[in-house]
Chains A and B, each alone.
Chain A
Amino acid sequence: MVYFKDLFSGRLRIKKAGDQSISDIPSRQRPFGVMVRKEVADHIRSWRFIVLLILIVLTFVGAMYVSISNLKAAVSNENDPDRLFLYLKLLTATDGSLPPFHIFMSFLGALLGISLGFDAINAERNNGTLIRLLAQPVYRDNLLLAKFLSALVIVAVLFLSLSLLMIGGGLIITGVRIEGAEFFRILAFVILTVLYVGFWLSLAILLSVKFRQATTSALTAIGIWLFFTIFYRIIVNMIVRSVFPDPNFMTQEDIVFYNNVILDLLRLAPSQLYTDATTTLLMPSVRSLGPLTMEQMAGAIPSPLSVRESILIVWPQVSGLLAATAVCFALAYFWFMRREIRT
């Protein structure tokens, strides 16, 4: 039998008076902070994250191993204007046995985002914790945002530490000082990767709001991912072959125009945007993502671009990714805010 302690009730009443002052503080951020902290802790403790972590670290180590063993050849290649960017070479050099790290990330980043977000809302709903959580004085959008931000924080920390490890390892192995430009390019690469994962994360959260079963949302997200990585390219090629005229009978200008159209179509896939952007950032001599005409190439010296110029080239890609993320998030928000919460 439980007895109600007078002591306790007395204290309860005193605290009630005290609580008033607490709630008077504009404490909108506070429950949000608590939620983010809890979500981050949940992610870190979950097996899912540990498995993903192992996967990504293995990929990273594999890619590094291949690039280090090819570093000498890559750096001494006289025809490559990027040969002096040692640390960028670490990220991109390969002998063809393994794709470089940034190409790997266009697959794994999606997987990471999906697996961190696919059960964000529906698992809570199925456990009956969602209704309990929303009966607390918290804003609904704070929950969505907390889910999104906590996963993103983890991803950011993961990639930042991996890159710093790489830079540190490179320093020890080669003894070459890192250039400021290289550092900023690597930093931009990390930010871009986090953004890319963020897109898949917001898509996964959107699906977790939409579907009641976590498995359904996971499968749908993986389906979308597969579509964009495998089928989308095939479909675009099929359309191009059947609709576009034969290139043998086209003028130079037409070929350029149609090539641009094809590229634009391909860039509807987020992984294409990511690959384009990372390639530009990690290979300073890439000066355009579309075909260049002879006039444009005339007089150009094959030399690396500055960081600013590279970023200007990838800016459309970055804003595309940002826009896609925002659209997914807004849609999730729209569906979630007025939804009836019921177990």
Chain B
Amino acid sequence: MENAIIELEGLTKFYGSLKAVDNLHLRINAGEVFGLLGPNGAGKTTTILMMLGLTEPSGGTARVCGFNATSDPISVKRKVGYMPDSVGFYDGMTAFENLSYIARLNGIPAHDVQHRVQETMELVGLGAAMHKKTGAYSRGMKQRLGLADVLIRQPEVIILDEPTLGIDPTGVKEFLHLIRQLSRQQGITVLLSSHHLHQVQQVCDRVGIFVGGKLLAEGDIHQLSQNLFSEESYLVTITVKDTLPDTTAREATLLQMEAVRKVTASGNTIEISCAENITPRLVRYFVEKGFDIMGVYQKEYGLEEIYQRYFDNNLTENVSHGKSSGLFQRSFFRKTAH
């Protein structure tokens, strides 16, 4: 944590009485790919806007590359490339002109602009469509152009807000691959927000789960799954041929095995949650007892379960505090506000 490039301290944002971001503390290190993960209306975009000085926080500070984003946004913007969730371009201009404009705004010398634009366009795979009007671009192409728009400035930090929105699956793969490669080769710090779990899982070094304006957990995927499912990281489902006789006794004997945490048997399937991967032992046990095993299914918790779990926990907490409606309302309002 010695060279944090993004430091958020107690960042808070109110919209009227609505708390969009709630006392957020976050440090992102140089060269890291960080995924901000959360459902719609969790406050991801608001947080990003505060990092860029595009909106003022109600409390706390955001420091990016050592500059205060609220009081010195220009210095921050010199270092940070930001791609908004719905990128727009001047439809009457070609992609080339759009990009040259941005390049010139960033003080790239005039004689450099042309080949720099060309290189960047080719990098994102738009070399062929360079002189088309952006009005004729598809959503995915615009997204790529948005990335080119960020890259042409050679930023130290790239912030991508829902970057994979509207791109087809192969496109997403390429896109994420490119981002990862850039981060690795040039040490660029990447912050990407998304509600697509799998994509985040593919590229991010660390993930922060963000629900209702609060950062519920952060860490790499392994850490997160350990935090959450330390009790029951593995779930083994065993299906046997005949209906299990005497289920309660069976559960009791299984629970005596040291790693087993929870057993639920119903009909001819039995689900065993355990802290370690003891599938072979379990299979051996059932075979020894003379059961005919039809199938063994072993499940490891991925990001989806982690996410689901955090989200669910948060929901039930809210319900128990009698304010579940607030959460739903919030996400609903945000959607309409978009």
Contacts and interface: CB of A to CB of B under 8 A. Distances in A.
Interface of A: 1-2, 4-5, 8-9, 12-13, 15-16, 19, 22-23, 27, 30-31, 34-35, 38, 42, 45-46, 127-129, 131-139, 338, 340-343
A343 B46 CA distance: 12
B78 interface: yes
The 9 closest A-B pairs by CB, nearest first: A128-B88, A340-B55, A135-B82, A127-B88, A137-B77, A2-B125, A137-B78, A34-B104, A129-B88
Given A132-B149, A138-B105, A343 B88 contact: yes
Interface stretch (B178-186, B202-210, B271-279, B302-310): B178-186
26 contacts: A1-B125, A2-B123, A2-B125, A2-B178, A4-B123, A12-B186, A22-B107, A31-B106, A31-B107, A34-B104, A34-B105, A38-B101, A42-B90, A45-B92, A132-B84, A132-B88, A135-B54, A135-B82, A136-B106, A137-B106, A138-B74, A138-B77, A138-B105, A338-B56, A341-B55, A342-B54
Q: Which of B74, B92, B181 has the most CB of A within 10 A?
A: B74
Nearest to B98: A129
Given A340-B49, A342-B49, A343-B84, A139 B74 contact: yes
A192 B208 CA distance: 59
Contact of B124 (A2, A27, A340, A343): A2
A15 B113 CA distance: 12
A74 to B, nearest CB: 46
B86 A343 contact: yes
Contacts of A340: 49, 54-56
Q: Which of B84, B87, B181 has the most CB of A within 10 A?
A: B84
Interface size class of B (residues with CB under 8 A): 35 or more
B78 A23 contact: yes
A4 B88 contact: no
A27 B110 CA distance: 14
A16 B107 CA distance: 12
A134 B186 CA distance: 25
B55 A137 contact: no
Interface in B77-105: 77-78, 80-82, 84-92, 101-102, 104-105
Nearest to A338: B56
A15 B186 CA distance: 13
Contacts of A2: 123-125, 174, 178
Contacts of A45: 92
Contacts of B146: 132
A329 B101 CA distance: 26
Nearest to A46: B92
A31 B81 CA distance: 17
B129 to A, nearest CB: 13
A34 B109 contact: no
A42 B98 CA distance: 12
Contacts of A134: 54
Given A127-B88, A139-B74, A341 B54 contact: yes
Interface string B37-73: 0000000010001001011100000000000000000
A340 B338 CA distance: 13
Contacts of B178: 2, 4
Contacts of B199: none
Contact of B52 (A13, A19, A129, A135): A135
A136 B102 contact: yes
Contacts of A129: 88-90
Interface string B105-133: 11111001000000100011100000000
Given A4-B185, A5-B123, A340-B54, A136 B90 contact: no
